[in-house]
Amino acid sequence: MENTLTILHNATIVTMDSGDRVFINGGIVIQHHTIIALGQSSSILHQYSSLAHQIIDLNAHILLPGLINTHVHTSQQLARGIADDVDLMTWLHNRIWPYESNMTEEDSYISTLLCCIELIHSGVTCFAEAGGQHVSGMARAVELMGLRACLAQSSMDAGDGLPPSWATQTTDECIQAQKELYAKHHNTADGRIRVWFGIRQIMNSTDRLLLETRDAAKELKTGIHMHVAEIAFENQVVVEKRKANHGTVSYLEKIGLLQNNLLAAHTVWVNNEEIEFLSKGGVKVSHCPASAMRMLGFAPVKEMLDAGICVSLGTDGAPSNNRMSIVDEMYLASLINKGREVFAKGTTDPTALPAETILKMATINGAKSVLWDDEIGSLEVGKKADMVVVNPSLWSMVPIHDCISSLVYCMRSENVESVMCNGQWIMKDKKILNMNEGEIISMAKHASSELLKRAGIEIPNRMNML
C-alpha cells in the first residue's frame, strides 16, 4: 500500500476539541483523509517522521479546523450588488426572485464556482446551502472545487409574488424533486456532498409542505434548512393567517417541526418563550450578522447561547451581504452582540460573545449545525483532515499578544494561506488548486450580465454617471 502519511508541524494548533487544547508548537499526522495523530511537534516527529512521505514545516503559522459557513446561497453569487439599500420585500420580489427564476443550471454552476473561490479564500471547508435552484449544478461545482457541502433546493408551494415558473409548483413536486436530488447526489464526491431538504420560508409554504418535508427528512435521516423569523412582518402574517401565539417559531413548535435536524437561519424575531422552544427541540440556529444588520435586525444570540442552543455563523448570499467571508462574520458577530446589550442594560457589554465563543460558532458549532460533528469541526484523531493554515505575520495581525482573540478581532481573509479539505489541499499559498480562478471570474462576468438581461433587472444609477 502506498505510504500516504503527511506530517504538518511547527504550528500553533487550535484544536477546538472539548478540552479547548491549543498546542503552541504542535504537529499533526494525516493519513489519506483522516487525522491519525496530534500533539507536540517533537513527539509527532519522533514517532512518525520515518513513516511519512511528506513533512511540512508550517513556520509557526496557526492551524485551525476548517471554518464552516452554515448559511450560503451559492446560486446568488452572480447577483452580488443587484439589491443594495432596498427593503426586504422589494429585494425579494423585484430583484432576487426574478434573478433566480431566470437561472439555468449552467448559471448555477458558474455562480457556485465563484462563491466557492471566496469561501475557500476565507478558510471555509464546509458550507450549508440555504436553498437555490439547480442543485445538480451546485453539486458539480462543489465536487470540482474540493469543498464539503450540505446542498438544498429552495422549495415553495404558496404565497404572493412568486415568479410564474414557480407559482405552479405543487407540494408533491417539491417533495419528489428533493427526494430525487437526494438519491442522485447524497454522499457523492468522496462523501463530501450531502443533500438536505430546503424550505424557503413559512410565508411561501403550505402546512402540507412543512409536514411532509419534516417526515421525508426524518425518513432519509437528513437535515432541513429554513429561513425562520427573519422580519417582524413574517411573524405578523403567521399570527394572522395561522393563528400562532407569537410567530413562526411558535407555529413550528405547534406542528412538530422544531427538531434537532432543523437548521433555522437568521431567527431574529423570537421571544423568550420561543427561545425555549428552540432549545427544547434541539434546533440549530445560523446567525448571519452582516445580513441581519442590513435588513433584519438584532438576533438574540446571547440569550440563545445561554439557553443551550447551538448557534453557528453564516454569511447569507451575496445580494444580502456582498462579502462571503466567514472571517468578517466572526468579527461582526462579536461586536454586534456586544453593542446589542445596550437594549437590555443601557450600556454595551464588552464581555458578551468573547473570542473563544465566536471561534466555536465558526467551527464545532458549525459542524453540529450541519449534523457532521462526528467527522469535522475540530482537529482530533479520527476526524477528517479539514484545516486552515493562517499566516499571523502579516500587517493585519502583528503583533500577537493573545492568539485566540487575534483570530477573531484581527484576522482577515488575507491571512488565510492554505486550505485542506478531506485530506487534500484545495488552496496552497493563496492559490486555488483545482480550478483556474481567472477563468471562473471571466465566466462569471459574462453569465451575470446575460442573466440580468433575461430577468429584466435594471440597477438604477445612484449618481450622475457620465
Kindly list the averaged pLDDT for each block of 10 residues, start to end, along the chain of length 466: 82 98 98 98 98 97 98 97 87 90 97 98 98 95 98 93 87 97 98 98 96 98 98 95 93 98 98 98 98 93 97 96 97 94 86 97 98 98 98 98 98 98 98 98 98 93 92
The confidence score (pLDDT) of residue 127 equals: 98
- Domains 5-65+375-432 and 67-370 equal at CATH topology level: no
Cβ-based neighbours of 401, under 8 Å, separated by 6 or more: none
**Residue 128, beta-bridge partner list:** 150
Q: How many residues does the chain have?
A: 466
Domain ranges (residues) in the chain: 5-65+375-432, 67-370
Radius of gyration of the chain (CA): 22
Question: What is the Cα–Cα distance from 144 to 436, expressed in whole angstroms?
Answer: 11
Query: Residue 3's pLDDT is what?
Result: 61
pLDDT at 1: 37
Say which residues have a Cβ less than 8 Å from residue 104's Cβ, sequence separation at least 6: 134
For the domain 67-370, what is the CATH code?
3.20.20.140
| CATH number corresponding to 5-65+375-432 | 2.30.40.10
How close are the terminal C-alpha atoms of the chain, in Å? 66
Closest CA to 120 of 436, 413, 407, 390: 413
Q: What is the pTM of this model?
A: 0.97
94 contacts 163 by C-beta, under 8 angstroms? no
Q: Which pLDDT score, from 0 to 100, does residue 11 have?
A: 98
d(CA 48, CA 43): 9
Give backbone dihedrals phi and psi of 55, rounded to 5 degrees, phi first: -125, 120
- Give Cα separations from 92 to 82, 200, 285, 333 (angstroms): 11, 12, 22, 24
SS3 272: helix
